[in-house]
Amino acid sequence: MKNFFEKNESIGILGAGSWGTTLAWLLSKRHKVRVWEFDRKQLVKVIKERENKKFLPHIKLSKKIIFSNDAPDVITRSNIVIIALPSHTIRETVKKYSDLLKKKIMVNVSKGIENKTLKRISEILYDETGNKQIYVLSGPSHAEEVARKIPTTVVLSSLNQDKKRMKYLQGIFITEHFRVYTNPDIIGVELCGSLKNIIAIAAGISDGIGFGSNTKAAIMTRGITEIRRLGMKLGAHTETFGGLAGIGDLITTCISKYSRNRHVGEELGKGKNISSILKKMVMIAEGVKTTLSAYNLSKKHRVSMPITEEVYNIIYRNKNTKKAVQALMSREPKPEIW
C-alpha cells in the first residue's frame, strides 16, 4: 500500500444508514471506527448479524467496527467525526452535541439544503459549533457500489482551506478502489451534491412517463446549467460543475438503479402521489425536501431554474407531470450559450 494511505486514525460516524455503514466498512480496513445508530432495535440487529440488512444488505461488517447507541462516547473517542445523517436532522443533532464537536474534525457526507434557513450543511455545522474544521466529501458514489469495491472517485472540500489537513484527510479515505480528489470550492461542491437530486427526480419522471434517452440527456444537460446558474450567483467556481461533484454526481444519480431520487421521480411519472411514494421507501430521498429549498433560493436570488420549478410544482402543487413537461417544452425559444 502506498505511503499516502494514512493509517490508524480514530473515526466516528454519526448515522448508520447506507452511506454511513459503507464508510464504516471502507475505513475499518485501516482505521478504528465507531458508528452511532440512534435506533436501539436496529443497533442490536446490526451487532448480532454483523450486517446492516435494512440499508446495506449482503455486506459483512468487520467485528472491528464498534456500533453504539451512545453518541457522546462515539464523538469523544474519535478525532474525526463523519456526519452521515439525514440532512433535516443535522442541526438538531449537532446542536445537542455541539460542545463535544467544537474541536473535532468534521466531515459531512450528507446532501441537502435546510428548508427554513436555505443554508448548506457546512453552514449549519459552523452555526452550531463555531468550528471551522469542516470538510465535505461528495461525488458519484452510490453506497451499494462502493461496498462492492467498484472503482469510485469523489472530491473532498473544506471550509478552512487548510491544504495540509486536506491532504491528510485525502489519505484517510483513499483506497485502491476509492479515489479522492481535492476541490477548494465548498460552495459549489455542496450545491452540486444537493441540487443534482432534484434533476434526478426529473429524470425519473421522464422514465416513468416512458420517454427515452433524448429526453434524459436534455434533462441532465439543462439541469447542470441551472445548477451552475444558481451556484455562480452564490459564489461557486464554474469548474466545479463540470467535475465529479457536478456533472459526475448528476449523471450517476439520474441513471443509477440505486438512485432513490430517480426512483421517486419514476413513481411520480407513473401517476402516483408523493405521499404514497415516500411511505413505501425505507431510505430517504433528499431531493424532495431540497426541491423546496432550491425553489425558494431561485426566487430569492432571481435565478431561472425551470426544471427545478416544475419538479416543485409536481411535488408541492400536485401538477400533472405531462403538463409540467409541456410547460418546459413550450418556453420561449432562447440561445443555448449566452
- What residue type is 46 in one-letter code? V
C-alpha to C-alpha distance for 149 and 176, rounded to whole angstroms: 9
Task: Note whether 265 and 316 are same-domain residues.
Answer: yes
Which entry of 32, 45, 102, 196 is annotated as an active-site residue? 196
Task: Note whether 169 and 31 are same-domain residues.
Answer: yes
Distance of CA 221 to the CA centre of its chain: 20
**Phi and psi of 209, rounded to 5°?**
-70, -30
User: 188: which 3 cell numbers?
Assistant: 459549489
Judge whether 210 lies within some domain.
yes
The proportion of the chain whose per-residue pLDDT surpasses 90, expressed as a percent, equals 94
The per-residue pLDDT for 8 is 87
User: 67: which 3 cell numbers?
Assistant: 456500533
The per-residue pLDDT for 3 is 52
Q: What is the pLDDT of residues 29-56, one digit of tens each?
A: 999 999 999 999 999 999 999 999 999 9
- What residue type is 195 in one-letter code? L
DSSP H helical segments within the chain, as ranges?
Answer: 18-27, 40-49, 71-76, 90-96, 98-101, 121-129, 143-146, 163-173, 186-209, 213-233, 249-255, 260-269, 274-279, 286-300, 306-316, 321-329
Identify the band that residue 4 occupies on the pLDDT scale cut at 50, 70 and 90. Answer: low
Residue 40 lies in domain: 10-184
Judge whether 338 lies within some domain.
no
* Whether the Cβ atoms of residue 227 and residue 196 lie closer than 8 Å to each other: yes
What SS3 class is residue 39?
A: coil
For the four alpha carbons of 216, 219, 222 and 224, in that order, the dihedral sign comes to: negative
Task: Note whether 122 and 232 are same-domain residues.
Answer: no
Residues 6 or more apart in contact with residue 283 via CB below 8 angstroms? 17, 18, 55, 260
Q: What is the pLDDT of residues 212-264, one digit of tens each?
A: 999 999 999 999 999 999 999 999 999 999 999 999 999 999 999 999 999 99
CATH assignment of the domain containing 260 = 1.10.1040.10
Judge whether 337 lies within some domain.
no
111 included as an active-site residue: no
Task: Note whether 49 and 127 are same-domain residues.
Answer: yes
Q: What is the pLDDT of residues 167-218, one digit of tens each?
A: 999 999 999 999 999 999 999 999 999 999 999 999 999 999 999 999 999 9
Bridge partners of 120, per DSSP, are: 113
Task: Note whether 88 and 194 are same-domain residues.
Answer: no
* Whether the Cβ atoms of residue 183 and residue 155 lie closer than 8 Å to each other: yes
C-alpha to C-alpha distance for 308 and 199, rounded to whole angstroms: 7
Identify the band that residue 161 occupies on the pLDDT scale cut at 50, 70 and 90. Answer: confident
Task: Note whether 193 and 262 are same-domain residues.
Answer: yes
Q: Which of 63, 208, 187 is nearest to 120 (CA)?
A: 187
Task: Note whether 242 and 149 are same-domain residues.
Answer: no
CATH assignment of the domain containing 175 = 3.40.50.720
Task: Note whether 90 and 197 are same-domain residues.
Answer: no
Bridge partners of 154, per DSSP, are: 180
What is the pTM (predicted TM-score) of this model?
0.95
The per-residue pLDDT for 7 is 73
C-alpha to C-alpha distance for 141 and 329, rounded to whole angstroms: 32
Question: How many Cβ atoms from other residues are within 10 Å of residue 27's Cβ?
Answer: 22
* Whether the Cβ atoms of residue 15 and residue 33 lie closer than 8 Å to each other: no
Residues 6 or more apart in contact with residue 250 via CB below 8 angstroms? 192, 196, 199, 200, 220, 223, 224, 227
Last residue of a domain, one of 184, 202, 223: 184
Region of 140 on the Ramachandran plot (φ > 0 left; ψ -120 to 50 alpha; else beta): beta
